Chain A
């Protein structure tokens, strides 16, 4: 593939606002997980982003006010991301910059709150509830485009916990096809009753803080966060810094079960082999693997199988969800940024 470059990147999670805070927390082995105290739910631990409840959106219409967009806005304020996007806009023109982002639940917390105030006579949610600007999946790229001043096409990818990693692939398709010259890629997912209660109903939430890859692991801890990068063609804007190059990817479906991974790990093996092939790299040339590492019994066993099959036993690998929690649709972008370092 024609190589792409990441010219800016930013992240917000339970362990830090911005890359340097997050990096310092990882080096100090400081976890952001705390006992769950979210709207009366007390099952397990959560990775809550400090300050998100009080955050006021810097720009953008009032219709977009929700927890998910607050996380996205906080991320835009970090790591010089705002400024980097403005430089790209000045170079390429706003028309040529797309937004491709992943989220699994968008601002559904706003809908949950609205359901508690439904008018018993009419069945209507309260007028303050702006469904399209909050709960709807397309809210996130619309907010980002308005906030950052881009006019290229928008896309929301909602492939559950693969949303923001899959967004890189969709962004690459638009770049390679010439639909745009740069893409804001990433995603956001925020704490809500729906995922906390839903994963608990599947029996997948650990009572204690999640312990991925541990023999005694007992499930996930849900976190929240957001992160974005600026992805463009290598060499197109020579003065832009290069944080990393995107040289290969692989995508597959498990095609196995709605909520349980294929124990033979066939889908994961295909994805990793395709990524290596496209990047023209041998397994031994990989220095580190950031695992999905959710901390459930079956996921981590499946990944062990997949990584061993493709890479053998010698490539260092780890999960970082013990520090951030499982940020669901945002996990791909957050863990990509951790891997870049």
Chain B
């Protein structure tokens, strides 16, 4: 399955949007650890923005940047949102409330706890009826999401935005499901390979398991394993450096091969 990548976004420690992250991934700018502060979701009215929380802020910032770069209105794109942990802070808060004598579940927290809440805010904010699927595939959320988004893009013959994001979880779950950093990335994929873009992406699933390729940048090797969405770093690095080549990534239970060819 082949598509054209027309837009990319990254937000993570020391990676603040595509222009800056691209320079870091190319080795043109040193990587410096720092807080992850994506811009607020401009598409949401102030009260919705307040109610929506950090996970939605991250997801929407990623989706917005990738769409702008590709020159698409969100209403022109099908959406694939992939995330492992949902909104861990909200889930932790509800679990604490329901297991505490007299604890009350907040209705706003309950609707934010659903896995497709960021996808919901995305379509509400842009007043659009485009389909958006919300996937949850643990450590493989990026690769399973990519395999799904590319298939959807090609089969539906419609540009598609893939958004992958996760945040650390507080409380008891966070003690056993460790996500050290916020991280997310997004891609706008186009099915017409004659279109201009950043690169061509050829995707193949193989049921034989292979090791996940590593990112070459020495400072980013550790970062890759701190968040499920950061498993995209080897592919993001390949795209940023403009090299032709193939990245192999674990895609349960097999392997996803992504061949990158600059446009």
Contact = CB atoms under 8 A, between A and B. Distances in A.
A272 to B, nearest CB: 12
Interface stretch (A215-223, A226-234, A248-256): A248-256
A156 B129 CA distance: 22
B135 A155 contact: yes
A258 B121 contact: yes
Contacts of B96: 115
A253 B120 contact: yes
A253 B205 contact: no
B110 to A, nearest CB: 4
Nearest to B152: A173
Interface string A104-145: 100010011011101000111100010110011110001001
B129 A151 contact: no
Nearest to A258: B111
A83 to B, nearest CB: 22
B25 interface: no
B212 interface: no
B135 A157 contact: yes
A114 B95 CA distance: 10
A169 B135 CA distance: 13
A274 to B, nearest CB: 9
B98 A197 contact: yes
A177 B207 contact: no
Interface stretch (A158-166, A283-291, A315-323): A158-166
B36 interface: no
18 contacts: A114-B172, A131-B173, A132-B138, A137-B136, A138-B138, A154-B144, A160-B114, A169-B133, A177-B151, A178-B1, A193-B98, A197-B105, A252-B131, A253-B123, A253-B131, A257-B124, A258-B111, A259-B111
A159 B134 contact: yes
A132 B253 CA distance: 15
A253 B129 contact: yes
A116 B99 contact: yes
Given A116-B99, A177-B155, A258-B111, A253 B119 contact: yes
A153 interface: yes
Nearest to B149: A173
B95 A179 contact: no
A135 B173 contact: yes
Interface of B: 1, 84, 86, 91, 94-99, 104-107, 110-117, 119-121, 123-124, 126-138, 140, 144, 147-148, 150-152, 154-156, 171-173, 175-177, 205, 207, 251-254
A252 B117 CA distance: 15
A139 B1 CA distance: 28
Contacts of B175: 122-125
B31 to A, nearest CB: 30
Contacts, number: 186
B172 A124 contact: yes
For chain A, the bracket of interface size reads 35 or more
Contact of A174 (B123, B130, B151): B151
A170 B98 contact: no
B136 A156 contact: yes
Interface of A: 94-96, 104, 108, 111-112, 114-116, 118, 122-125, 129, 131-132, 135-138, 142, 145, 151-160, 166, 169-170, 172-174, 176-179, 193-194, 197-203, 251-259, 266-267, 270
A5 B205 CA distance: 23
A37 to B, nearest CB: 16
Contacts of A136: 84, 136, 138, 177
Please provide the 4 A-B residue pairs with the shortest distance between their CB atoms, ordered closest to farther.
Answer: A137-B136, A95-B207, A158-B115, A198-B110
A154 B137 contact: yes
A256 B124 contact: yes
A181 to B, nearest CB: 12
B135 A267 contact: no
A232 to B, nearest CB: 16
Most buried by B among A116, A172, A194, A267: A194
Nearest to B169: A131
Nearest to B174: A123
Contacts of B252: 138, 142, 153-154
A132 B139 CA distance: 10
B98 A255 contact: no
Given A153-B252, A158-B134, A198 B113 contact: yes
Nearest to B124: A255
Given A131-B176, A155-B148, A158-B135, 13 more contacts: A95-B254, A112-B99, A114-B172, A118-B172, A131-B173, A158-B134, A169-B131, A178-B1, A179-B147, A198-B105, A254-B123, A255-B129, A267-B129
B123 A202 contact: no
A247 to B, nearest CB: 15
A234 B121 CA distance: 38
A168 B19 CA distance: 38
A179 B205 contact: yes
Given A135-B173, A174-B148, A177-B151, A159 B133 contact: yes
A153 B254 contact: yes
Contacts of A158: 86, 114-116, 134-136
B124 A179 contact: no
Most buried by B among A116, A154, A202, A253: A253
Contacts of A170: 133, 148, 152
A290 B28 CA distance: 58
B258 to A, nearest CB: 14
